[in-house]
Chains A and B, each alone.
Chain A
């Protein structure tokens, strides 16, 4: 019997290592002769660099070297590239000002690196860094996205008028306007998607190394996609060909998107190591992470929904200002455009949609993809808008959603904003969620709470996301400057164990287990006979890494294709060994059998024959059993679901308590339900964090980061969260071989809307109809007071 592994909650193979403290992270690595880098960062949000004097630093004890932007320019080092180009409404390309590794001429945010100091110890480097004398001429700064587009706002770049990187749009404006002209009701909403700091548990860390004998550079890095870093850094920044540059991403402690991008510090340590002939290590301090990891979200949006008399959505108009920060990060341009506005149909049949997005430079840390990347912004906007419409036309919010859901039999469904959904059943997930949340019994709970002086509210959100990033040709047509296929190599070892080399990267997702499950089930071998190798360009074929919930839909599909090849070759070998026709060989339960007979060879026997080809069809077949496959997806995948939150609010303090959270998600086929549940839990915690707690704040006058540490940046804690009720309902993805859709981002996408709708539902009883995230105690208390005052 074949062990059924796909669908089993197999315990994570990697956890023995992690739970016993044997994980091997970048900062755990120490190379002989290693020196330490510390970056001198701008204390100002916006300033001209008048001069940098490194003389005092160069004389500091233990100093090895000091480099400034001028040194890098002199060495011919390039600027950090942007991986996605977006076009303006008129077809012209976006503004793409250079992003130097070390600031030259000007600094554009607090934390912008201006020099790197390298010394024999970290302490010595810190001492010396304080002796780098930088003279700045402070300039007025602007950190808020709506302030940056106003006339007279401080300008970050001479060549970028109005701080506008791009003015982009999608959809049919005339059709949307026509829909509004005939609408019976229009719901309008001004909404802010609060800026977040990703805060992976492991701070970024890099080690550059250089072998003078071979001319080979090595970078150890906390990244989600080592091949992409090798390509970007090698080709655009350091001008080192791939075969002389190895990038290793060992165990990585969380990324959430923030470790996708090519960062200045990576290039600086790799280059400096070659200059010095010594390994150069840099590990971010937590306060440095706040000032230099790409942030997420930060939108200001006006949206309008047109409805007919029955509550059917007729049209949607959206106008968004997206904060890009001081420089364009690697995927920054794509996040508020192709990963955001293309999702504005959501789960609904809205026939006419028009969205325009201005990407705006400000004196803040660059903004890029953070768990969900564009899709949480779209989902939150839509679900707040739909709830507001339901309140205005007095329909139950669940009913209004059902009325507008894309019907079950409408797939493939072409939206008015480019995407074609392949599958889904929004009715089923909504029903599951409402039932599990006891939506019907809410009125009683609300009344009970009222008796105890509490305001109780229930809120729901449905969502769809586009995952499995991405069909390369489609992405290319939209401005992507990279392919987005994935690759897997299945190396069958002579005695039948298997090593999988994947181009994806696991930094918490558990690929070492889920990928092994796919292999073990298919080949009929025990799961401990399968190891998954990732994160080293010297070992794995050229793949694109992990983000956008792509690893299983795209990387897993490549793995299945490679397994197809292994099986096909195995059949040829077995046919020879069993003296049968290849067409008569069946492969099942780890055995190659001649159909209708008991003649068989085990997978291990066939593997051995492939590597010791004494009895082997060498004239027609190469030895070995080692197959590589590339998979370029035909479409995105479309996970979807419904989330329900229930809250109570303390009227006296404004404190919101999240009492219940229910998620019903459609991730397609599930390989490991335990890992999926863990992914959902993590995503929900971050989504709830955005709704209730987290907000990255800059001082509008000075441009200083106010929430620069955990003393002020409020992360969600275990104690803030109820036990989640999670369930799944699968409609299979129609275009990948596993039928999988991806689950990594869903929680962060659905939760903000559900929680805020619950908060607003509770507050509606005291006359509050609008509130921005996060629903902090003072903000809620003020909203209650203001509505009292208005009444």
Chain B
């Protein structure tokens, strides 16, 4: 690990100012990606600005027909929240399958989506549930938030403070985990809303994406059979020693059908 200056943010404004002023500053949320990267000397930030200790970033609350989850809420808190389990059980289920217990006890919603790892689970939920990402500066629609591999719409100094998840009629998340890391090789989140169906795929491509052919078919007939003949194209999908693009494309279909079946 290289040396860096450590700051514990006292307010969100304070954190925002610090990461704007310092040349190579990084925010620390759960640290589940950042800390291993530092330990392997793969990153050399000048300053770390710690968001732990800001209570306004924490917590889960119901607001009308949405569940609003603070950015610093741990995965385990989402997984075990009675509110989330009741309102959007698929989201609690997703959180309960992120990484392992150690990761779930440290990792946060805001950290996960701000990092936008192509194989992270949460982006699929944010997109499929048509969530709104709330930052210290504005509100960003899910479809506009995830820009590409490790890239988001966040601007310098912008910090995710919460995510508002509208309650779907039904939803489910099916993940085919990387056998070693437990990240998603393919994760498909299917959500049926009043105004349509959204199918978000994580792990398969460089960034979470919507499978619109499936969405259209499911809007007409929300059943696994309805998407049986829809093949995910393998062009542009990820490939590694665990799964080729061809296999990932195949798994998108399998996981989508299973998600639809699980959503009921």
Contacts and interface: CB of A to CB of B under 8 A. Distances in A.
A108 interface: no
Interface in A703-739: 706-707, 710-715
Contact of A713 (B40, B180, B250): B180
Q: Which range holds the interface residue count of chain B?
A: 10 to 19
Given A713-B180, A714-B179, 5 more contacts: A652-B254, A653-B176, A653-B251, A712-B180, A778-B242
Contacts of A781: 247, 250
Nearest to B258: A652
A587 interface: no
A711 B241 contact: no
Contact of B181 (A706, A711, A778): A711
Interface in B158-192: 176, 179-181
A126 B180 contact: no
Interface of A: 123, 126, 130, 287, 652-653, 693, 697, 706-707, 710-715, 776-778, 781-782
A697 B254 contact: no
A715 B181 CA distance: 10
Contacts of B103: none
Interface of B: 1, 3, 40-41, 176, 179-181, 240-244, 247, 250-251, 254
A653 B240 CA distance: 16
Nearest to A653: B254
B180 A776 contact: no
A123 B1 contact: yes
20 contacts: A123-B3, A652-B254, A653-B176, A693-B179, A697-B241, A707-B180, A707-B241, A710-B180, A711-B180, A712-B181, A712-B240, A712-B242, A713-B180, A714-B179, A777-B179, A777-B243, A778-B243, A778-B244, A781-B247, A782-B247
Q: Dominant SS at the B interface?
A: loop
A776 B40 CA distance: 28
B228 to A, nearest CB: 12
A111 to B, nearest CB: 15
Instruction: Summarize A's interface: helix, strand, loop or mixed.
Output: loop
Contacts of A697: 241
A776 B185 CA distance: 13
B104 to A, nearest CB: 15
Contacts of B181: 710-712
User: Which of B180, B181, B243 has the most chain A CB atoms closer than 10 A to its own CB?
Assistant: B180
4 cross-chain pairs, A with B, having the tightest CB-CB distances, nearest first: A714-B180, A711-B181, A778-B247, A714-B179
Contacts of A123: 1, 3
Most B-side CB within 10 Å, residue of A697, A706, A778:
A778
A711 B3 CA distance: 25
Contacts of B3: 123
A44 B254 CA distance: 40
A711 B176 CA distance: 15
A693 B241 CA distance: 12
A706 B241 CA distance: 8
Nearest to B244: A778
A707 B251 CA distance: 23
Nearest to B180: A714
Contacts of A715: 180
Nearest to A654: B247
A710 B180 CA distance: 6
Contacts of B254: 652-653
A707 B247 CA distance: 20
A710 B36 CA distance: 12
Nearest to B253: A652
Contacts of B1: 123
